[in-house]
Each structure stands twice: as C-alpha cells, then as structure tokens.
Amino acid sequence: MNDNERGKIEFLTEAEDIFEALGRDLVLLDESLRSGNADPDLINDIFRAVHTLKGLAGLFGATTLSALANELETKLDALRLGKSSFTGEVVDTLFRALDVGHRLLLAENSGAVPPLSELESLLTELRGTGLDAKPEDAPALDLDPNILSVLTEYEEHRLRVNVEAGNRIFRLRTRFSLLTIDESLEQLKASAKPHGEIITYLPTGEGADADSIELDILMASKRDQAALEVLLADSGAVISEVPRKAGLRTPMPAAFHAADTGEHEAVRSTAEQPIVSPSSVPPPQEMRVGTIRSVTQTVRVDIQKLDRLMNAVSELAIVKSSIDRLFERMRPLATDRTSALELLRLSRTFDRQLESMQQGILEVRMVPLGQLFERLSRVARQVGRNADKQFNLVITGAETEVDKLIVEELSDPLMHMMRNAIDHGIESAQARKAAGKPEVGTIALNAFQKGNHVLIELEDDGGGIDTERVLEVALSRGFINPADVRSTSRRDVLNLIFTPGLSTRKQAGDISGRGVGMDVVKTNIGKLGGVIDVQSEVGIGTKLAITLPITLAIVRVLVAEVEGHTFAIPLANVREAVQITEDDIFSVDGHEAMTLRGSTLRLARLTKVFDIPEHRISAKHYVVVTMAGSARLGLVVHRLIGGQDVVMKTIGASLRSVRGFAGAADLGEERLGLVLDTPSLYEEVVASDRRRAQQARSSS
C-alpha cells in the first residue's frame, strides 16, 4: 500500500468518525429544539465538526464533499450567531445534508457516481437561506472595553443573548496550574454546565507565576451570586457580578469590526484552552519540557488484517489438533515417561495460549451496537416526520458488543424493521387518542447478550398485526392453501409477513406497503446465522426479536458424518444429541418424527435433504436436536465425531445457491466440512413438505 492509498484510508476513516459524531449531535439538537430551546453548545460543536470536515475534504481533494461542507459551515455560522432562525425545517435540512454528505463519502470510497443532482439541490437550498437578523449592538454591560474588544463574534452574540434573556453575567477569577489546565477547565465546565453557560476564558495577565495562569471566566446564569458561590465552591473561583448599564447600549467595539469571525477564532477558541500571550505571563524561571504522547491509546486496524490473523490462528489450531492426535497414537509406544509427561504439559499450555489468542482477536473485532443504534435513531426521526407520527424512541443495551461485520450487515434489516414499526405499527395521534392510548407512541430498541448469542428486540405499542387480514391476503394470493387453514397456527400466520409479495396495505405508501422488504430482512439475518421471531397482539403492539451469533469469525461446531460426507453443525444451534433406532421413527402429516421426552420432534434425514445416495443400512442413528429460534428440528446423521473450533470460509458459486449451508471449514487432516445453516435448513424442510403436499393434492 503506497502513501496515497494509506492517506485516503485515513481520510475516509476520519470523515466517517466525524459523520457519526454529527449524527449524534443532530439528534440531541433536535431533541433540545423540541423541548423549547436549541442548545448553543451543540450548534457550536456541529459547526466546528463541519469546519474540520471541510478542511479534511479540501486536503484530500474530495471536491464535492468540500463544497457541501463549505455551504453547510456558512449556514451553521449564521445559526450560531443568531443571524438565521433555528426551526424544525432547518434541522430537516441539516439531516438531509448529513445523508447526502455520507453518500458522497461512500462514492469517494468506492469510485461510484456521487449524487450530484441531490447535492446541487441541497447547495441551492443552503445558499437561498438568507439572514433574517439585523446587525446587533454590543451588550449593555459595565464591562471593561478591553475584554469586549477581544471577544469573538460568537462569544459576543452569546453574551448579548443571555443579557437579553434576563440572565445575570458573572466574572469568575481563578488560577490554574499550567500542567493540569486541561483537566481543571473540563472539571469547571462540567460543574458550571447545570447552572449556566460559560461564555469565554480570558487570561488576566496578573497573579501568575512560572507554574500557573490566572483566568477571568465570563459566565451567564439565572442564579444569584450567593447561590453560585455555594455551587462552585470547589473551583476556588472568586465570583463577582457584572453590572448592567442602565438604559445604555454601547456601540460594537472597533476591534470587532476590524476582523471577521475566522480571524478571531484563529486567535482563541471557546472550545479550547486559551492561548497565553508572552506579555500576559511572566517568563518561567526554568523551561519545562512537555510531552508529545498521543492523547488516545487506540489503533485503527483494517478488519481484513484481523481476518488474516484469525485464519492464521485457526490454521495453527488445526496443526495443534493434528499433533495431539499423532501424540495419542505414539504414546502407547513411548518408553520415556518423563518426556511424554513434559510433552503433555506443553500441549496443555499451548492450548491455553491459543485460546487466549483467539479470544483476544475476537475482542478486537467487537464493536458496541450503539454505533448502529445511533444511525437508526436518525432514520426513525426522519421517517417519523415524513409519516407525521409522534413517538418516543427508547434505546437500551447499546453497549452490547458484536462482531464488526455483523453490525454492518445488520444495518439494512434493522432500518427496514424500524421503518415498518413507524409506518405500519405506530398509529396517528388521532387514532391513538380514540383508542385510549397516549397520543405519543413508544418504540423500544433493546439488545442484550445471551450465551454465545446476542438478542435484538424492536417493539412498538402500535396497532399490532391483524392475523385475520394477513390470512385473508395470503389466501387470496395463493400463498397458502385453503385446505391448510385449520392446521395453520397463529405463529405460522404471523410468519407469513416474511413471504415475498405479501402486504396488507391496500395501497403502497412512500415508506412501505409494497410487500418487499421483510422477506429480505429474514434472508439477510439468516445469512448471518440468525433467526427472527415475531409476536403481535391487535391494538397492543408488535415485537420483532432477532437472535444472532456474537461473531462469525470462530464457530464451535459439532462434526458429524453422513454416508462419508462430513458436516459441521454450529453448537450454538445444538440443544442435544441422542441415539435412536429405526423403530423410534414414525410418520406425522407426511414427515418423519420421533418422541423426545414426551413431545414430538420433527426429523430431517440429511441424506434426503441433500439428495445423498444412502448405501449403508444401519439399525442405529444419531439425532442432533437443533434450534431455529423457538422451532426445533432433529437432524438424522450416521456418526458423531466431536466438537471443534473452526473458522468459517465462504463457499463457492456452485453451492452458494443451495439453501442450508452457512459456509465451509477446514477440519484438519486434509478434511473439509460444510457448515450447516440450521435456520435456513428448517425453512427448507418446511417448504419441501409444503411442496410435496401441494403436489399430492394436484395429482389427486
């Protein structure tokens, strides 16, 4: 990889991080606006993030992204300075800009054609938004003109806004050690945030020595001086109130007119520690050497490098297993008992270290689901506004970690589920009020770990799924035979929503209702080795639950043989394995089954599922009881070999279209095994039973 390619990857990664942060801040900004007052700190943070993005895009030649960031920065500057009104429509435009910008970044990464028409439309909209505020006078405060003269335009605007809002302005004089000024300022900001707004930090040029600096901090608050002195007592600041000028508004300082915002921002930023000029602090008696260590202890690693490392560790594990088997064969012949025991001890130590390596690589691949949930919250907000639906989104379990690759593949299915919950689930405010519900609905997104799986639940308190209507549509479109209606359970009817082309909507809307999507959701989740279950009650709501493996990198499997063919069954889907005879098998509704602890277990012979010729006749078989969500399926095999950790590999094009396979794995000793996808295998068995029943009815 050359320097240009490496630089591009760094740019794309940094820009992606900025977009993630922008998305979080925009959601918080929208919430603060709906509560009655847009948080000025959030607006300023968004402005600075866009400013950074503009610089990055310009540096790496991303011209389209740079153009968008430039116009967006201009708009945000007007918003934070009060020159443009902040409304819900403006927030919509910012969200749209975030979406277009992210697609521009994706196009930059893949070399695809960027969405130029949408970009031009957005740029025109941003340029067409004029300023609706007149130039303002300086705040009417009895404040030292020298202080006013060094305030940035943004700081003076915030000072004026607080004065006009009737808030009191205080000067906090305090001293900080130069070695700990960053931490001290952050602590002070955190302490002051609940009680007011810190407007600026200014060095006094007094009372400092070689190791410290004295600052004047301007703070606006609704509280009086006595209350602030108690609340901020730990800061050690001397607090005094800045008096107002009675009936007098001073003109704007000349220093302010002399330079634009960018020049002042270059001198000193409110979000950063103040830069102390040489004249304001006496020269130190002894030169202190700082540190050039990085602030963070994180390293960005391409996931493909982790895949290669995982494959290498897997190959090492296979070699280790082969050595162990060779050792077991040679041990009866060994004459040196001491050497044999030492070799056994080294083998066990190697096992522990190898397991530690595998676990370490898995932990590096893990990312919190919160990254995905934040994106979903933005989708929910936009879809809710488009559909004119009011709801609260409650997110729990965002800290739950899964494999990075699973998170990426899960984003589209969860997005479609969220859109369906809003469009199909949550009713309008009028309908909810008529039904005796709160006018504002609730959508809950929850995640938690359960063993080697992670469960993600999306639940709404909307109208629920009308199973009678689903059954009616399924019958009218031939998705289900009228003769099977009596034997169709409620669970089977609910699962019909995953049938391609089925929709209970009489007319498709802008968001959903075309009968496509939920089948794709189920298919994509199945490709990840997961299952999706649905529960619903009319008038109460719907819950969709996804069960997924935590990682696809290393899978613990049960190895079995059928007519000389080796299959690997993920142990995460295995409940137990039992030995049976042919006499234990009986027929129910055209398929084979057995009785297991008082309940009927559906069976599937892998020889029949995969059309494997059965040459051997054996009185005894093994049944591996697998789980596909809440459904059970017994897989009939001829021999069980044992458990093993494997790294799944993708299968070739010839088998990719065959349902029932999740991938392939190297099992050692030059053996390859196909890894079974038990959820899709269950679906295939049920579908084949349905096809046989239809053929039987048509032939009769």
11-68: per-residue pLDDT in tens?
887 888 888 888 888 888 888 887 777 778 888 888 888 888 888 888 778 888 888 8
Residues 205-242: b if buried by 16+ CB within 10 A, e if exposed: eeebeeeebbbbbbbbbebeeeebeebbeebebebeeb
Give the list of residues 6+ apart from residue 538 with CB closer than 8 angstroms, or none.
Answer: 463, 464, 465, 466, 467
529-539: per-residue pLDDT in tens?
788 889 999 98
- The Cα diameter of the chain in Å comes to 106
Q: Residues 293, 295, 297, CA angle at the centre, nearest 5°?
A: 90
Q: Looking at domain 3-128, which of 1.20.120.160, 2.40.50.140, 3.20.20.80, 3.30.1330.120 is its CATH number?
A: 1.20.120.160
CA distance linking residue 645 with residue 10, whole number of Å: 34
Antiparallel, parallel or unpaired: β 238-241 and 197-203: unpaired
Give the list of residues 6+ apart from residue 213 with CB closer than 8 angstroms, or none.
Answer: 175, 176, 178, 181, 203, 276, 281
Q: Looking at domain 554-699, which of 3.40.50.11540, 3.30.465.10, 2.40.50.180, 1.10.1200.10 is its CATH number?
A: 2.40.50.180
572-607: per-residue pLDDT in tens?
788 899 998 888 888 887 788 899 888 888 898 888
Cβ(408)–Cβ(414) under 8 Å? no
Q: Residues 342, 348, 353, CA angle at the centre, nearest 5°?
A: 125
Q: What is the mean pLDDT of each run of 10 residues along the chain (700 residues)?
A: 68 82 84 77 85 82 86 84 79 86 85 84 76 56 72 80 84 81 80 84 71 83 86 83 64 37 36 36 40 49 77 78 79 78 85 84 84 84 85 91 85 89 90 91 92 89 88 79 72 81 57 57 80 89 89 80 88 87 84 87 88 76 83 88 79 69 76 82 74 63
Q: What is the pTM of this model?
A: 0.61
What is the per-residue pLDDT for 542?
Answer: 93
CA distance linking residue 94 with residue 76, whole number of Å: 9
What is the per-residue pLDDT for 629?
Answer: 65
What is the per-residue pLDDT for 426?
Answer: 92
What is the per-residue pLDDT for 265?
Answer: 39
Q: Which fold has domain 369-549?
A: Heat Shock Protein 90 (3.30.565)
Distance of CA 15 to the CA centre of its chain: 17
What is the per-residue pLDDT for 25?
Answer: 85
Q: Residues 691, 694, 696, CA angle at the centre, nearest 5°?
A: 110
Q: Looking at domain 145-267, which of 1.10.3210.10, 3.30.379.10, 3.30.70.260, 3.30.450.40 is its CATH number?
A: 3.30.70.260
- Estimate the crossing angle of helix 678-699 against helix 518-527, to 10 degrees: 130
What is the per-residue pLDDT for 501?
Answer: 67
